[in-house]
Structure 1
Amino acid sequence: MPGSGKTLFANLLREKGFYVISMGDVLRKRYEKEAKIGERMMDFAKRIREIYGEGVVARLSMEEITPTMSRIAFEGVRSLAEVEEFKRLGNPIIIAIHSPPSLRYQRMISRMRPDDSKNIEDLRRRDLDEIRLGIGGVIALADYIIINDSTIDEFKKRAEEVILRITK
């Protein structure tokens, strides 16, 4: 879910030699080229999924892969349809990062990203939009779940344990 710590986890993967493809960045590139005037990013995401299928962002993300990349992670999987697309590459390992909503909302309000609302009701609405896209199924079927409800150092420790398991 937004504000859970996905980007921090992705940075830890990069430090371990993974090439990380941010599905959000891939979607933003497409949004900048094709969004209708005044269209919110979430509405754009829903629209292209209606046009091209539920796995479209995964397919666009896989286009970013080059032959020199060996260990690849995709940050920001939102649906089981996307997981199915990634299965064309092999057997994906799903790692979910979970944080309580109140903590995620505090993080999003303080981090000042342009696509984050500063209004709690908008953040709750965004959560519901994410759930409608299917993120709950991805979390429920995750191979690993890292709880991010404490300090950054504690999260890093938990994340390192999972990274060690998946790289053995």
Structure 2
Amino acid sequence: MLICVVGMPGAGKGEFVKVAREEGIPVVVMGDAVRREAERRGMDVGEMAKRLREERGMDAVARLVEEDVERELRRAGVVVIDGIRNPEELEYFRDRFGERSVIVVAIHASPQTRFERLRIRGREDDPDTKREFEERDERELGFGIGDVISRADVMIVNERVSLPEFREKCRMVIRAILRGDPDDLPGGFDHLRVPD
């Protein structure tokens, strides 16, 4: 089973990933593959993401991490994929691993909340200014991330909650997914919503 976590930068995907790891689930971070390729080519990460998709197609990053995903699936039977950015990547995984084997979890937070989080996080590719933040959002939306978010099986809202509360929401969702077939849940995952 693949649990694909998606969300705009700063929404809380990293915390979801930490909880997944605490639950013993291996994680493949698509952005790490882009960062490695950017470093290899001496390019900016954002430009590298764009270039990869221009050169190799919109599912390029999914293909870059496929071996990692397969290895972790063989080892653990479940893997979290962090960082799907477009419908083509999602479809690549669904085609490769089976429609019912892929669950999409979207993490949502407002732009203002995300901007503040990114400023605090301070990763190399995080924006320093509101303008840089907006440009990054536009780039992400241009990749098609909004389409993937709209197709999510589960939406977790990460707004006006403490970090421990958000992490508990993540844990509840992960455990619900791991309990079995989505049809075992009332209404399936399409109707599974974690309380605000």
Q: Same fold (TM over 0.5)?
A: yes
AA aligned opposite 1:95: V
TM-score (norm 2): 0.81
Matched, 1:40 2:40: no
Q: Is this contact kept in 2: 1:93–1:143, CA < 8 A? A: yes
The structural deviation recorded for 1:133 is 0.3
The structural deviation recorded for 1:160 is 1.7
- 2:167 is aligned, of 152, 156, 161, to 156
Write the deviation string for residues 43-84 of structure 1: whole angstroms up to 9, x where unpaired. 221111011110010111112132424211100110010001
| Partner in structure 2 of residue 138 of structure 1 | 148
Q: How does 1:8-157 map to 2 (within 5 A)?
A: 8-35=15-42, 39-65=43-69, 66=71, 67-87=74-94, 88-90=96-98, 91-149=101-159, 150-157=161-168
Larger CA deviation: 20-29 vs 56-65: 56-65
The structural deviation recorded for 1:124 is 0.9
CA distance in 2, matches of 1:71, 1:8: 18
Q: Is this contact kept in 1: 2:13–2:82, CA < 8 A? A: yes
Structure 1 residues not aligned, in runs of 5+: none
TM-score (norm 1): 0.94
Larger CA deviation: 58-67 vs 137-146: 58-67
Identity within the alignment, %: 37
Structure 2 residues not aligned, in runs of 5+: 1-7, 180-196
The structural deviation recorded for 1:165 is 1.4
User: Which SS does the other structure have where 2:106 is aligned?
Assistant: strand
Count of paired positions: 165
User: Which SS does the other structure have where 1:116 is aligned?
Assistant: coil
CA distance in 1, matches of 2:126, 2:68: 25
CA distance in 1, matches of 2:167, 2:45: 30
User: Which SS does the other structure have where 1:42 is aligned?
Assistant: helix
CA distance in 2, matches of 1:157, 1:41: 31
CA distance in 1, matches of 2:137, 2:35: 18
RMSD value, Cα: 1.2
Q: Is this contact kept in 2: 1:9–1:159, CA < 8 A? A: yes
